[in-house]
Homo-oligomer: A and B are copies of this chain.
Amino acid sequence: MKYKFANRIERVKPSAIRELLRLGGDPAIISFGGGYPDPEIFPIEKLRKVYDQVLQEEGKLALQYTGTEGLMSLREKLVSRVKTIGISCSVDNLFIIQGGQQGLDLTAKAFIDRGDIIITENPTFLGALAAFNPYEPEYVGVSMDENGMRMDELEAALQKHPNAKLIYTVPEFQNPTGVTMSLERRKALVSLANKYNVVIVEDSPYREIRYEGKDLPAIKSFDTEGRVIHIGSFSKILSPGLRLGWLIANRDLAEKLSLLKMASDTQNSTLNMYAVNRFMDMYDLDEHIAHIRETYKQKKEVMFQTLRDTFPNSITYTNPQGGLFTWLTFPQHIDTKILMQEHSLPIAKVAYVPGESFFPNKQEKNHCRINYSYMSEEKIIKGITNLGEIVKDVC
């Protein structure tokens, strides 16, 4: 039959890049494509103990339904945890979500009618575009420099689009560029949002994975008008396979968003919420995060040393202070998708994410995103060296 889909389905397409990355599933391929954590750092033995105890002691509760907002003691822990980044809130402002991605879906669902404007960094997280697209927004991309989203361009965008609904940012170690928004820009962003009456979506899944420089206060910490939605996640600091994150918003807004969550999937896994709550009781999450930071710092150094050793100077890359990614810029004439299809995958046996899908509007073809958290140091050296050989020939 021919399905009578909703209009929004025009905006829902499998990306060519997804197909390309599927080819990268071949175990012979060294993949810098995904945003996977290093599985070696998962606290498996600790989680074994945790699940065992939760099931033994609280099994009847942990396997049952619970409220949409999630386990109260976990929410209380998070309320206390975010104080360290300047966010003062109560459990009425915070609820548990199915990873950060769900926060993006719920936010767009609450705010976006067809044709509404979302302002994003340019480039921006492609998963956010995927979450927003079914609500049929239009995008305005704002350029970045080494201090994050440019405020002059943002103000121009707000003047041109006074009805813009959302400003979306990944302020730390941005996906895909690795860039962090400076303290001044964070304050300026909130001022502009106040002036033009727009909601900010602060997507912070990487913020605790910092291995250089100083922690910055959350954008939400400068929010005096309830216009910042802050999204955090356990995916990078504990495990993405548990699908747990949190969303913080003004009380009225949090209530609307949690009603939308109830409509979407009722609640998160009760068992996983009990387990993470108990993990935080039994173990020191910050100690675990310190271990992740060391591991990724080392991997980043290995990758950057190899990049310096093997890549031609015509290719530049960002130098992130944390997170999982660097962003490579090739000479203008290079199309990284074709490079991957014709050279990198078949010859170098290396996968990355071609940069074009990170651009909401005008797609630039001469970038790519490279992940350094997932592969072993040995594979990082081998993969980057192989890729260096290839690009020396074509650049």
Contacts and interface: CB of A to CB of B under 8 A. Distances in A.
Interface of A: 1, 3-9, 12-14, 34, 36-37, 39-40, 42, 44, 47-48, 51-52, 55-56, 59-66, 98-99, 101-102, 105, 109-113, 116, 127, 130-131, 133-135, 163, 165, 197, 199, 225-227, 235, 239-243, 250, 252-253, 255-256, 259-260, 262-272
Contacts of A8: 109, 113
A64 B240 contact: yes
A12 B111 contact: no
A48 B52 contact: yes
Contacts of A55: 44, 47-48, 51
Contact of A243 (B34, B39, B265): B265
Contacts of A242: 63, 269, 271
A9 B110 contact: yes
Given A4-B111, A241-B65, A272-B271, A133 B265 contact: no
A64 B60 CA distance: 26
A-B pairs, top 7 by smallest CB distance, nearest first, are: A241-B270, A44-B59, A39-B60, A63-B239, A98-B265, A63-B241, A51-B51
Contact of A64 (B165, B241, B271): B241
Given A12-B260, A259-B12, A266-B99, A64 B37 contact: yes
Nearest to A272: B269
A263 B130 contact: yes
Contacts of A59: 42, 44, 47-48
A63 B243 CA distance: 9
B65 A34 contact: yes
Contacts of A105: 263-265
A216 B40 CA distance: 48
Contacts of A243: 265-270
Contacts of A98: 98, 265-266
Count copies of this chain in the complex: 2
Contacts of A225: 1
Contacts of A1: 197, 225-227, 250
Nearest to A166: B4
Contact of A101 (B62, B66, B255, B265): B265
Count chain B CB atoms within 10 A of each CB in A14, A116, A163, A263 and give the residue with the most: A263
A59 B45 CA distance: 9
A101 B262 CA distance: 9
B102 A265 contact: yes
Contacts of A112: 6
A252 B227 CA distance: 40
B264 A131 contact: yes
Contact of A113 (B7, B259, B268, B272): B7
Contacts of A109: 6, 8, 134
B241 A269 contact: yes
